[in-house]
Amino acid sequence: MLNSHSHRAAIVVAILTLVTAGAAVAATPLGGKKYAGTTSQKVNGYAAPVKFTVSGNRKQLRGFQYGDVGCFVSIIPAGNPYLQAAWVHRIGTIAVSKGTFSIKNVKTVYSVTVAGGKLRTVTTTTVSGTFKTAKKATGKITLFQSQTAPGLNHSCPKVVTRTFTATTH
């Protein structure tokens, strides 16, 4: 039989176990809703956007896209770079299961004609995240970029990692 002190300790352990387990459970997103927010990247004072729509059955993020200039920040002119197609990465559809989502190694390509030929930027992206509440998702975006053009072959020296938060109303 438990004494008074042991009984209280057992209750505290049980409560902490329930609280901890509850915090680890992801929420179910709201079906059919558009979510929007920002990543941790800021360029020229502008926060990089992230947005997607949750499918009606809540099993997919559709139209997932985010803004990021990668390691090419030194070539960005003044103003909002995320208004330029080169810096918006359209990932597409990501599966959702039990309030979590992820997709790995999605390649997006942006090409533009420059003096002497085409400048081609290839971005490889991995996205992972969790719905903290039905109206709020947080996550991580990792990316690697390379650029090629006649006489140019440049890659970021490392993988870049950003965090993001997106909400709906």
- Percent of the chain whose predicted confidence (pLDDT) is above 90: 60
Helices (H) and strands (E) counted in the chain, each on its own, are 1, 9
Q: Which helix (DSSP H) or strand (DSSP E) does residue 99 occupy?
A: none
Q: What is the pLDDT of residues 140-166, one digit of tens each?
A: 999 998 888 887 777 777 889 999 999
**Range 82-92 average pLDDT:** 92
Domain that holds residue 33: 26-167
- Percent of the chain whose predicted confidence (pLDDT) is above 70: 85
Asked if 142 and 125 touch (Cβ cutoff 8 Å), the reply is yes
Report if residue 3 sits inside a domain. Answer: no
DSSP state of 74: G
Count of domains forming the chain: 1
Report if residue 4 sits inside a domain. Answer: no
Report if residue 138 sits inside a domain. Answer: yes
pTM for this predicted structure = 0.81
Q: What is the pLDDT of residues 65-75, one digit of tens each?
A: 999 988 776 67
Report if residue 98 sits inside a domain. Answer: yes
pLDDT band at 1; cut points 50, 70, 90: low
Q: What is the pLDDT of residues 2-24, one digit of tens each?
A: 565 555 655 545 454 444 444 45
Report if residue 19 sits inside a domain. Answer: no
pLDDT at 6: 59
Report if residue 21 sits inside a domain. Answer: no
Assigned token pair, 78: 């003044």
Q: What is the CATH number of the domain that holds 129?
A: 2.40.128
